[in-house]
Amino acid sequence: MTGNSGDRTVVVSAPGKVLLAGGYIVLDRKHTGLVFGLSARIHVLVQEIHTSAGVHLSEIVVQSPQFLNATWKYGYHLVENGGGIKVTQLQSGTPVEPNHFIETTLNYVLTYISQVDKSRASHGFQPASLLVLADNDYYSKPKRPSSSSTAAATDRPSSSSSAGDFTLPTATSSEEKKPSSTSTQDAPTTTTTTTDKPPRPRFRHFGTTLRDAHKTGLGSSAAIVTALTASLLSHYLPPSLFDLTTPQGKRVLHNLAQVAHCSAQGKIGSGFDVASAVYGSCLYRRFSPALLSGLPNPGEAGFARALAGLVDEEEAWDCEIRKEEVGLPEGVAIRMCDVDCGTETVSMVKKVHAWRDGNPEAAGGVYARLQGRVDELAGVLRAGEVDGIGRVMRPVREIMRTMGRDCGAPIEPDSQEEMLNALEGVEGVLGSVVPGAGGYDAAAVVMRDDEETEKRVRGFLREWSKEHEIQVRLMKVKGETEGARMEDVGEFKLWVR
Ligand SMILES: Nc1ncnc2c1ncn2[C@@H]1O[C@H](COP(=O)(O)OP(=O)(O)OP(=O)(O)O)[C@@H](O)[C@H]1O
Ligand SMILES: C[C@@](O)(CCOP(=O)(O)O)CC(=O)O
């Protein structure tokens, strides 16, 4: 395919998530969940690949330069019988493990674009280079800097081959993008060069492949699918057909990202993570799962038309995103603790559902009680009633714990119960919960947003980790209200060529 001229260089970012209350019940359309966006974002930069005269390339190259072996090159073609655009991963040299979320998103988004912009049918897509940059809190720190990570730890893109490989750069942190006022990523004080500590890069290299990286549970797949979708739509479509700053643009992004994410996940979660990646903090009611049931798979006859029809069909999307019902009192922050343990969300959901199906009446009562607490917590936070936060968060924990005990899933296991009880005794901590599905691997803390409280919490977690031989740490990330947004390309000029 040859291309349209004027495809824009854009950077779009999408936030991570924390489901503060409403885990499990939010899978059911009768109920809602209270979700906050997070200051940790995934950014996607899209730019055209410029080729020398006479050189013809038909490639989309996606790179995630914070990981080893993380460059995916795709060819793309139009499938007959309205099957849409299908990408195929190209292999050259060292075999690269497929990235299912990226590949699936490309199939859905390029197909949608080809359907709504008829000129694409004749002109096709210019080759493009996409760069994924994730804020550091999405993954646990590498234990010890390996030589590859040290070399890479001062991010900047360098040489470009024909299809444009990025290697991580050697810029000092002062040359890197400054954090936004709401972001807690690498504040200038922590990035100033000292004699003994190298500057901390805004986007660090993790020294591993993506498969071996330790995720911290902030919703990386929803953030990447959303940022990737928005960046491709903004790059290939004129603003008259897609504008992220408008309600219509957000709606298209939401619907398309939900469809692509569900398909890549291979299951239908509630979609709260994609909703908050698009809209930021909100009270969320899911869409009917049946909405997606009639959609052909990418490449199947009629896929392109059915996909565009579904994404654009406003009335069919019965999800609710109530942003006006969510707020945070002045001087209060939602913070996340990373516990270095794993949790099997899928098996926990299965246990909860088996219990619910076997005990519909009891489960209905528990779900209704939890819903009451979700609404109450949202109300207290919105009204700025700082003194009420603990009072309404404690019952959320109790209900989650009881539900776990009844269905045999470790939703708030004893080890977490003990830690959260002690943590709630630290001065400045207002309340805590096991977020989302619960389990061993994370805790969310609502606390006073000041240095003294942060110091006390860090000190507490240090001691707790020593005494209990686990690793628990307070991440930098904070609850934040904003969803997906266009970023200033100028702030990413180190990566633009
Ligand atoms: N920085 C990245 N670059 C490229 N792909 C990524 C990146 N981060 C995540 N992904 C994609 O997302 C997948 C991880 O999705 P998964 O659903 O397992 O985790 P998650 O969304 O972070 O989970 P959780 O909701 O527990 O936070 C990876 O396998 C990869 O396909
Ligand atoms: C259990 C569930 O309600 C929440 C899972 O949340 P998390 O991935 O643990 O943050 C599943 C869902 O809503 O998709």
Nearest CA to ligand 2 atom 7: 436
Nearest-atom number in ligand 2 for the CA of 24 is: 3
- DSSP secondary structure letters along 351-370: HHHHHHHH-HHHHHHHHHHH
pLDDT digits 0-9 by tens, 442-493: 999 999 999 999 999 999 999 999 999 999 999 999 999 999 999 999 999 9
Distance 283 CA to ligand 2 centre (A): 14
Give the residue-averaged pLDDT of 353-381: 97
pLDDT for residue 142: 65
CA distance 113 to 233: 7
Q: Tell me, which fold does domain 328-479 have in CATH?
A: Alpha-Beta Plaits (3.30.70)
236 in helix, strand or coil?
helix
Alpha helices, H only, 316-359: 345-358
Name the amino acid, one letter, at 475: M
pLDDT for residue 195: 53
Of 66, 221, 336, best ligand 1 pocket probe by most atoms within 8 Å of the beta carbon: 221
pLDDT for residue 344: 84
Confidence of residue 45 (pLDDT cuts 50, 70, 90): very high
Confidence of residue 175 (pLDDT cuts 50, 70, 90): very low
Pick from 168, 123, 181: nearest CA to 5: 123
Distance 363 CA to ligand 1 centre (A): 32
ipTM value, please give it: 0.98
User: 302 near 82, Cβ under 8 Å?
Assistant: yes
pLDDT for residue 91: 86
Residues in contact with ligand 1 (CB, 6 Å cut-off) = 64, 99-102, 132, 134, 210, 215, 217-222, 224, 273
Give the residue-averaged pLDDT of 58-82: 95
Distance 25 CA to ligand 2 centre (A): 9
Of 28, 36, 338, 345, best ligand 2 pocket probe by most atoms within 8 Å of the beta carbon: 345
Q: Report the percentage of the chain scoring pLDDT > 90.
A: 78
- Pinpoint the residues of the chain covered by CATH 3.30.70.890: 328-479
The answer to whether domain 10-323+483-492 has CATH 2.40.10.480 is no
- Pinpoint the residues of the chain covered by CATH 3.30.230.10: 10-323+483-492
pLDDT for residue 47: 96
pLDDT at 178 over 50: no
Alpha helices, H only, 219-344: 220-236, 247-265, 272-279, 303-312
Q: Report the percentage of the chain scoring pLDDT > 70.
A: 86
Nearest-atom number in ligand 2 for the CA of 27 is: 13
Pick from 168, 202, 229: nearest CA to 10: 229
Confidence of residue 56 (pLDDT cuts 50, 70, 90): low
